Structure 1
Amino acid sequence: MMRQTWRWFGPADPIPLSHIRQAGVEGIVTALYDLPPGTPWPVERLLERRAQIEAAGLTWDVVESLPVTERMKTEADPADIATWIESLRACHAAGLRTICYNFMPALDWTRTELAHRRPDGARALRFDLRDLAAFDLQLIRPEADDYPPEIAAEARTRKIDRDALVATILAGLPGAMETWTLDSFQNRLAAYRGLTEEDLRANLATFLRAAIPVAEELGMRLCCHPDDPPWRLFGLPRIVSTETDYEALLAAAPSSANGITFCTGSLGARPDVDLPGMATRLGPHIHFAHLRNVRRETETVPCSFFEDAHLEGSTDMVAVIRALLAEQSRRAAAGRDDCVIPMRPDHGQAILTDDPATGAPGYPAIGRLRGLAELRGVMKALS
């Protein structure tokens, strides 16, 4: 079995630790979400959060996320990298060993709809490529020419709910570290003007070559979350979207400390990513798994998609879990001390009494509980 964890957004989370424990999970995934990116994390705050989790009978298994600042992405800012490493050392002092981060420029994970109604009444997160293109071409980059012609032609006249899309795309989703207005987002895009994929990849490599030796010295594991969705948005380069991207990331700083957050939902939005195969080929570097499923509405890159039930959607979740369990067996045979991979049921449809209006979008209690039960059943059967 993989180690079963649950994402918790701290004391403000509408789902309390006492309820999470009843879901049958073993550990918690969380972070100091109230601290802005670039702020050093105090050891005292980390120990306080850890004590709160342990008092509920759980353990703090993964930090998600220790935020990478925009200046680290645009210019590999040495001062911000040093501050990030200072927070990494604070996590170590608090007994934390696995750190998830992402290198998505400007925006964290992006959706255009937070409560898309499904035929059975469930509500799901959805990414509508045409709505995103309309939002971009009407409000952000009217001159952009990087959409397929048929989508661009429709997008320029497509009727959109401006306020809803601003709130959904720019105002921040759970786990996002910063929020934007239209004006501030335009300024943020300007900071990336002229930045190529090669530039962004070089800045990631600079960060890794500074942070990975420290993590290795401390016996810690860093794991980069993939882009979500895994393709360019608003003309911004994205460099953690495919298996090839991860190979480049691992090659930039070869080390057992340099690894992957294997998110089947983010990567699964691309039909050209072989998730079971990737889990086998890059398995030794997977430090953390997000198990969720999306249903692609077309087999193109990019495409529209929605968050499906965990055992439905476009990804063969049974094959993915089989590959991850096989990787655990290989680790155990090799005597690795990280032979059990922490996983969490990522996202989930809002069902039954889940209320998207009051809960964190994408993180319903009952929807995730259903997902966890299904994933646990698959793991038990395959084990």
Structure 2
Amino acid sequence: MRQTWRWFGPKDLVSVDDMRQAGVEGVVSALHHIPTGALWTPEEIARRQREIGVMRDGAASGLNWEVVESLPVSEDIKKQKGDWRAHLETWKASMRNLRAAGIEVICYNFMPVLDWTRTDLAWRRPSGATCMRFDLTDFAAFDIHILERPGAAGELPAAVVEEAARRFAEMDGTRRSELARNVVFGLPGAAEQFTLDDVRRHLSDYAAMRPETLRRHLVDFLSEVAPLAEELGVRLCCHPDDPPFPLLGLPRVMSTEADYAAVMEAVDLKANGITLCTGSLGARAENDLPGMMERLGDRVHFLHLRNVTLERDGDALRNSFFEDGHLEGGTDMVAMIAAILAEERRREAEGRTDISIPMRPDHGQDILDDLGRKGQPGYPSIGRLKGLAELRGIMTALDHPLVRGA
């Protein structure tokens, strides 16, 4: 497993020096300042590579940009409206430029409107650490009483709707504003301060779209880009929905093993692959993460390893959850890493060149000095270092001759 770390660029409060000292082997990054649908030029790609390659004192970091997360897919492509064909050609041109710069792995997602959704960005745990959380009742309060989306109450369990009304009535103006900001934080362009009317406008564009239609648009997209990726030697990997169940009336198409299997079969090329995120997929109880790795591992090109704890206050599909420690929560991380190492050994026996799957310790709880740093939500320095150390310990133990030969 290739140990990587996500970096948001020069404005990230976690520095290249921090990554180097954490012992990571490669960097996951993206050109977040370039608008969705615009070209990633060779010059901009080279600038990010130079930024990753140097430490504060000018010394070489020894790190390289190894995975793109994410090369964004425009809403026009997802809806097949407006400038979607031009955006598709630009996406392919950006992929060519990335490959020319030596980058082989590109993560993307096909979630409409929302990149991810949380109701709390710094939820306090008993230890004093903070983490991100999705509270189903708080989200229902936002959807029904703040956003006032038509039909929202009919899509949620009756008990959740009733509790959401009570909780909303008890919220003061500060909490209501905070809740709205937290949900909107996961919207593309949220840094530009989306209004509730902006959110309503985005949602209206998908009001009549069924999941089958969005899946067809995903397959159409992959039918265009995956053959080129195969030709270039690029591995594409689709990130799952986060959380992996319907929200705000939006269609979801990458939430389960069956979803991934269908899309892999529809565009049956090695370049068409999976970002297996144990945190996103782990928020749906039916998902068997080690089993998914065993059955779909041939197409897993990128790994996000984190853990969530379900709070079981909704229904069989939807529940509250919080981002737990990497070795806590609902996913058996030892079984997960064992399945990953088994897949890598299988690839080695086949003579594949992509033996070592890039992995990053996804998210993490804010602990110690993280609590005062106020960095990117979900991406603390010390919390991720702790997670990486824990995961590295499992990897080292399971791959040790004493264990493999037992």
TM-score, reference length from structure 2? 0.91
Q: What is the CA–CA distance in structure 2 between the aligned matches of 1:233 and 1:209, rounded to whole Å? A: 27
Superposed counterparts of 1:333-344, under 5 Å: 333-344=349-360
Matched, 1:321 2:325: no
- Structure 2 residue runs without a partner (length 5+): 55-60, 400-406
Q: 1:179 and 1:243, CA in 2 relative to 1: closer, same or farther beyond 3 A?
A: farther
Letter in 2 for 1:156: A
Letter in 1 for 2:96: R
* Shift of residue 117, structure 1, vs aligned partner: 0.8
Superposed counterparts of 1:2-21, under 5 Å: 2-21=1-20
Partner of 1:202: 216
2:68 aligns with one of 63, 69, 94 = 63
- Encode CA deviations 1:226-250: one digit per residue, 9 max, x unaligned: 0000001101010000000001111
1:356 touches 1:364 (CA, 8 Å); kept in 2?
Answer: no
SS at match of 2:46: helix
Partner of 1:33: 32
- Percentage identity across aligned positions? 56
Matched, 1:345 2:361: yes
SS at match of 1:104: coil
- Encode CA deviations 1:49-69: one digit per residue, 9 max, x unaligned: 112222321011100000011
- Encode CA deviations 1:334-367: one digit per residue, 9 max, x unaligned: 0000010000000000011112662110000000
Partner of 1:138: 145
SS at match of 2:167: coil
1:147 aligns with one of 153, 156, 161 = 156
Superposed counterparts of 1:227-376, under 5 Å: 227-298=241-312, 300-355=316-371, 358-376=374-392
Q: Indicate the larger mover: 168-177 or 7-16.
A: 168-177
Partner of 2:394: 378
1:36 touches 1:178 (CA, 8 Å); kept in 2?
Answer: no
Q: What is the CA–CA distance in structure 1 between the aligned matches of 2:191 and 2:242, rounded to whole Å? A: 15
Letter in 1 for 2:390: E
Q: What is the CA–CA distance in structure 2 between the aligned matches of 1:356 and 1:102, rounded to whole Å? A: 31
Letter in 1 for 2:80: E
Q: 1:18 and 1:121, CA in 2 relative to 1: closer, same or farther beyond 3 A?
A: same
Point out 4+ residue stretches in structure 1 off by more than 3 angstroms. Answer: 171-179
Q: What is the CA–CA distance in structure 2 between the aligned matches of 1:25 and 1:226, rounded to whole Å? A: 24
1:3 touches 1:342 (CA, 8 Å); kept in 2?
Answer: yes
Letter in 1 for 2:321: F
User: What is the aligned residue count?
Assistant: 382
2:185 touches 2:191 (CA, 8 Å); kept in 1?
Answer: no
SS at match of 1:12: coil
SS at match of 1:124: strand
Matched, 1:78 2:78: no
* Shift of residue 260, structure 1, vs aligned partner: 0.3
Letter in 2 for 1:262: L
Q: What is the CA–CA distance in structure 1 between the aligned matches of 2:12 and 2:34, rounded to whole Å? A: 16
Partner of 2:105: 98
* Shift of residue 27, structure 1, vs aligned partner: 0.3
Q: What is the CA–CA distance in structure 1 between the aligned matches of 2:191 and 2:46, rounded to whole Å? A: 21
Q: What is the CA–CA distance in structure 1 between the aligned matches of 2:65 and 2:193, rounded to whole Å? A: 26
Q: What is the CA–CA distance in structure 1 between the aligned matches of 2:78 and 2:164, rounded to whole Å? A: 30
- Encode CA deviations 1:13-68: one digit per residue, 9 max, x unaligned: 00110111000000000000111111111111101211222232101110000001
Q: 1:355 and 1:186, CA in 2 relative to 1: closer, same or farther beyond 3 A?
A: same
- Structure 1 residue runs without a partner (length 5+): none
Q: What is the CA–CA distance in structure 1 between the aligned matches of 2:348 and 2:244, rounded to whole Å? A: 32
SS at match of 1:289: strand
Q: Indicate the larger mover: 39-48 or 323-332.
A: 39-48
TM-score, reference length from structure 1? 0.97
Partner of 1:221: 235
